[in-house]
Structure 1
Amino acid sequence: MLTRRSFCAAGVAALAVPARAQVVATLGGGPQTLTVLSDGGFEMPATMLAQGVAPDAVAALVKQPTPYRTVLNVTCLRRGDETILFDCGAGPNFLAGSGKLADSLAAAGIAPDTVTHVVFTHLHPDHFWGALDDFDSPIFPQARWLVAEPEIAFWTDSGVYERLPEDRHAFAAGAQRIAKELGDRLERLKPGAEWLPGIEAIATPGHTPGHTSFAVQAGGEQVVVLGDALTHPEISFRHPDWRPATDHDADLAVATRRRLLERLGADKATIVGYHLPGGVGRVAQDGAGYRFERA
């Protein structure tokens, strides 16, 4: 089984950080409720947020002492008999401070066997590795598991290691192991259509080849679950052209961020970001650029 030791070489520090299970935010109510649940968080060098940018410029926006601590927000949509998770957290074998989703689900009164769908934005460890329990069985035994076809095709291709830097090989090994255990339960779908009634899959590639965001309805308004299309509350909005170290295709990720910011700013949609503090907010115009308005 892969451990946190595998990831130290990936440039993300496996440091012990404060983390707790919690319900981060709730939207709507009654027959249709969207809940943002914490999977904890982990620390990383602030320089990973923007490659090639002067550290002082990054530090001025991060406004945290180094290392930078990012949060992990898993979105849960409950409507009628359905309980739909968007991603499923890091599980117990990623970085220290992550893997809190099970406790957060319990805090929200959601039993694992009531989860009907798990919908993936992408297959990085902090989004995918929570799929299996300690016995390598699906942690949500009644769920359908949905993923973008280009995303699963990339991570499970035999040549994936040739297209990744060596420090990301463990990402692929973990994705392949989990995909093998899920087998035919992992349904492969195409972005650009409804994956479930009222849930539109939006192609947002760049961070990973098949990264997907989702537009849903909750509380009578449109909510866009971003995954990692926008990851920092200052940098992603004010400087979408800055390139995080974690983006697979930096140029494509920049184009995706610009397109998303324009759409979300115009639509005034509520957004949920996997790594945005508080999880929920909106994209607001700020002169010629944009800013994140936390709800």
Structure 2
Amino acid sequence: MSDFSRRAFLAGTATATIAATASGTVSYAAASDGASAGAKGTMPGIYRQNIGEIELLSITDGANSFPRRDNFVSNRSADDVAKALQEAFLPTDQITLTFTPVVLKSSGKLIVIDTGLGEAAFKQSSGVGGQFHTNLAAAGYDAGSVDRVLITHFHADHIGGLVTADGKPAFPKSEIWVPAAEYAFWMDSGNRARASSEAMVANFERARRIFGILGDGVRKFDADTEVAPGVTSMATPGHTPGHSSFVIASGTDKLIVQGDVTTHPALFIRHPGWHGATDMDPVTAERSRRMLYDRVVAERILLQGFHFPFPALGHLTREDDGYRLAPVMWNPAP
């Protein structure tokens, strides 16, 4: 991949504010079940999990690695961050983020939660990112068969897949549902004028371009709204002003799709008081994180995290002043 393509890919992710100028390396998504697809002959990452009568598919959009920046955690020293990564048996000089949207089959409806970086990023990055649509097809589904798309927030790795590489709606027959507070923030011209960095300006422009393509049919939801069969919205602001999570419930089973409440489990789950450089309101983000994770622990709820290691599912336990992620055991059987 050229340096230009690599920089452009990094700038398109949620880590844009700290990684856009890095000439970092990249990594390909881990192989999983399904037909051959994606970059460099990799296999698509597709994992199935039942939540009562709802079928959940974790479908990878790829992964990216980049040199660790000293401000990746804004309220802790670089040494503290390096120590936390070392304790998690991770490299101390780089950060790797995976991207995992969710697909649900519920009451005869096909529902997508977040859409990855999109087809343009897939081409630009030579398949490192933007794998979701390719892997969705490998799972046996066409974007035209999706009934509803739900969005947690408006960062590029969550909304980029809403449009095609040539600027058309990627889910032409779908209802697109977004958090009302998130839409209001990014579409406000006053907020755009007050943007304090190039990365923020780029995010405003991207959101406006994408939702301009989608037009007036975009639906907005508030917290505690049933946004799809068995799916209820939950306000978890801080990472962005209108960031939302989703509670999926069927029978006695329950799962929460948490979006970017945490962007790196070894850092922000283990240390919920640490503040991510990409959290727009770090104090509110910490409050949302603790509120959500206390509930997850108390009720033993399964958690899905967009940036968790694939298949991006696990339970939380308390440990010292924070939590620890217990990943779902990989099971290749459908």
Give secondary structure in 2 for the equivalent of 1:11.
Answer: helix
Q: Is the 8 A contact 1:216 1:223 kept in 2?
A: yes
Which has the larger displacement, 71-80 or 265-274? 71-80
The question of 1:280 aligning with 2:287 is answered no
Higher share of residues assigned strand = 1
TM-score, with length taken from structure 1: 0.92
Alignment match, 1:134: 165
The question of 1:108 aligning with 2:139 is answered yes
Alignment match, 1:25: 47
Q: CA deviation at 1:120?
A: 0.3
Q: Hey, what's the Cα distance between the residues in 1 that align with 2:60 and 2:249? A: 21
Specify which of 269, 279, 282 is matched with residue 247 of structure 1: 279
Specify which of 56, 59, 75 is matched with residue 52 of structure 1: 75
Q: Deviations over 1:239-288 (max 9, x none)?
A: 11111110011111011111111111101100100001120001112244
Which has the larger displacement, 39-48 or 193-202? 39-48
Alignment match, 1:156: 187
Give secondary structure in 1 for the equivalent of 2:240.
Answer: coil
Specify which of 105, 113, 124 is matched with residue 86 of structure 1: 113
Percent identity (aligned): 31
Q: 1:14 to 1:25 in 2, by over 3 A?
A: farther
The question of 1:34 aligning with 2:56 is answered yes
Which has the larger displacement, 156-165 or 44-53? 44-53
Q: Deviations over 1:216-237 (max 9, x none)?
A: 1368510100000122222222
The question of 1:207 aligning with 2:239 is answered yes
Q: Hey, what's the Cα distance between the residues in 2 that align with 1:50 and 1:271? A: 23
Give secondary structure in 2 for the equivalent of 1:43.
Answer: strand
The question of 1:11 aligning with 2:11 is answered no
Give secondary structure in 1 for the equivalent of 2:274.
Answer: coil
Q: 1:267 to 1:49 in 2, by over 3 A?
A: farther
Q: Is the 8 A contact 1:14 1:42 kept in 2?
A: no
Give the alignment of 1:246-265 within 5 angstroms: 246-265=278-297
Q: CA deviation at 1:173?
A: 0.5
Which has the larger displacement, 115-124 or 226-235? 226-235
Give secondary structure in 1 for the equivalent of 2:60.
Answer: strand
Q: Hey, what's the Cα distance between the residues in 2 that align with 1:57 and 1:261? A: 22
Q: Is the 8 A contact 2:235 2:244 kept in 1?
A: yes
TM-score, with length taken from structure 2: 0.81
Q: Hey, what's the Cα distance between the residues in 1 that align with 2:24 and 2:170? A: 26
Q: 1:169 to 1:93 in 2, by over 3 A?
A: farther
Give secondary structure in 2 for the equivalent of 1:213.
Answer: strand
Which has the larger displacement, 186-195 or 244-253? 186-195
Where does the alignment leave 5 or more consecutive residues of structure 1 unmatched? Answer: none
- Residue type matched to 1:11 in 2? I
Q: Deviations over 1:36-72 (max 9, x none)?
A: 0100022344335311311121112222242211000
